[in-house]
Amino acid sequence: MKLNENILVPLYYQLKQIIKEKILSGEWKVNERIPSESELCDEYRISRETVRHAIMELVREGMLHRKQGKGTFVKNPEESQKAGNVRGKAIGLVIPYMRQGGPEIVSGVENMVHSRGYHLNLSNTNSSLTEEKSRIEWLIESGIKGLVIYTLQHKDDYEILVKMKETHFPFVLVDRYVREFESDYVVSDNFKGSYEATKHLINLGHKRIAFISNPALSYITSVGDRFLGYKKALEEYNINFDPRLVFICQSKIGVKYPKLGENTNFTEVKRNIAQTLLSLPHPPTAAFVIHDFLALELYKHCKQIGLKVGKDLAIVSFDDTEIATHLAVPLTSVRQSFYDMGEIAAKTLIDKIEGRDNKVKKVILPVKLMVRQSCGTKKKLKLS
């Protein structure tokens, strides 16, 4: 795993998570000496000060211990738990990836946690359900006081979430919530965001609007709510919903509806999504794309076949990440407040831990449509 200088997360913090993952995965064994500061400097091409900062935080958190003249060693988990109980104030954050708002959520959580006198134990699951479950279990066993969880949201997640709920272990979900039971969560107004984005396209004169997503609709609430917002806008303007304009993956954790055709899966669609759109009997003139990184892929495919974004195909997206303003044709996108999401989730969690507020909190943050050139200008065609 490499360090990324192009994201908001400090290099020492990235290195800290890499070391932590090597310990949690068992790659570095208990009582084993880890590479020296010099070796880590050479491997990751960073300063000794950065390496030392990461190591000392892990020493303070009880995952590593230093022996004079011998080096730094992986600490026994039982000893780490005892150390954690002595320190007494640890909050865990479980996150699937460090992109699409991930770094901002981390920053929001971290700042609130530190301002309240706690320290943060961050765990990146790399979008693995197995890792998510094991990291949550490990963090609870290590003696943390509560968890902020950015769940992958698959049905297999529910078992551990239900267990935490039944044992009254404090946790707050971010970005997504669970429909099956009540829990604390902080999410964006995904329904309103997609509704406004689709409405904007309709007001520009578009009737054939595609909905493009790679996560499955049935499990991920943020995606499902965006789909409902898209459909609501069509309904309000008396535009018939056409399932042929909806493109969803067919993965193991997904569902097969809606889909493009009997023998089509999203991997094939993704290879040349623009061409697939245009091959329909009545192709769309616009597309709502579930997030900016998928919109970027659509941009690439449009360029390959000579399609001009904003002129031949209007595109709106969700998240408003940095790439939205750096594309050749700046992307119209719905802005989420990822930092606020993390900060409010951490505050909600700590208030529960400290007994300040025991009510279930369901926070829905406002979003804002950032209009740019990718959606084009108003079409001459008037809506009937």
Digit-by-digit pLDDT tens for the chain (384 residues) are 678 776 556 788 788 878 887 887 778 888 899 999 999 999 998 998 889 888 888 887 778 888 888 899 998 755 544 444 434 588 999 988 767 778 889 889 988 998 998 988 888 887 778 888 888 888 888 888 999 999 876 666 678 888 888 889 999 999 988 887 889 999 999 999 999 999 999 999 999 999 998 766 667 889 889 999 999 999 999 999 998 898 875 443 333 333 333 334 444 545 566 677 778 888 899 999 999 988 988 898 888 888 899 999 999 999 998 888 888 899 999 999 999 999 999 999 999 999 988 889 999 999 999 999 999 876 544 333
For residues 63 and 195, membership in a common domain is answered with no
331/325 Cα distance (integer angstroms): 6
Q: What is the pLDDT of residue 272?
A: 61
For residues 196 and 313, membership in a common domain is answered with yes
Task: Spell out the alpha helix ranges (H) of 152-291.
Answer: 158-166, 190-203, 221-236, 266-271, 273-278
Q: What is the pLDDT of residue 238?
A: 97
Look at residues 225, 350, 209 and name the one whose alpha carbon lies nearest to residue 287.
Answer: 209
Decide if 197 contacts 288 (C-beta within 8 A).
yes
Tally of CA atoms within 13 A in the half-sphere of 219 that contains its CB: 20
**Residue 117 region, left (φ>0) first, then alpha (ψ -120 to 50), else beta?**
left
Using DSSP, state whether 114 is helix, strand or coil: helix
**Has residue 168 been placed in a domain?**
no
CATH, residue 75: 1.10.10.10
Phi, psi of 306 (to 5 degrees): 75, 25
What total of structural domains would you count in the chain? 2
For residues 196 and 310, membership in a common domain is answered with yes
Q: Which helix (H) or strand (E) holds 95?
A: strand 90-95
**Has residue 161 been placed in a domain?**
no
For residues 74 and 199, membership in a common domain is answered with no
203/201 Cα distance (integer angstroms): 5
Domain boundary among 42, 58, 86: 86
**Has residue 138 been placed in a domain?**
no
**Has residue 112 been placed in a domain?**
no
Interaxial angle between packed helices 48-60 and 37-44, expressed in degrees from 0 to 180 and rounded to the nearest 10? 120
Domain ranges, residue 322: 190-336+368-375
Phi, psi of 336 (to 5 degrees): -105, 150
Decide if 178 contacts 161 (C-beta within 8 A).
yes
* Residue reference for tokens 């108003």: 378
Task: Spell out the alpha helix ranges (H) of the chain.
Answer: 11-24, 37-44, 48-60, 77-87, 102-115, 129-141, 158-166, 190-203, 221-236, 266-271, 273-278, 292-304, 323-326, 338-353
**Has residue 117 been placed in a domain?**
no
Sign of CA dihedral 47, 52, 55, 56: negative
**Has residue 312 been placed in a domain?**
yes
**Has residue 144 been placed in a domain?**
no
**Strand 71-74, strand 64-67: pairing:** antiparallel
**Has residue 382 been placed in a domain?**
no
113/61 Cα distance (integer angstroms): 14
Domain boundary among 59, 86, 113: 86
55/33 Cα distance (integer angstroms): 13
- Residue 335's DSSP bridge partners are 319, 368
CATH, residue 266: 3.40.50.2300
For residues 202 and 326, membership in a common domain is answered with yes
Q: What is the pLDDT of residue 139?
A: 87
Q: What is the pLDDT of residue 286?
A: 95
Domain boundary among 39, 60, 86: 86
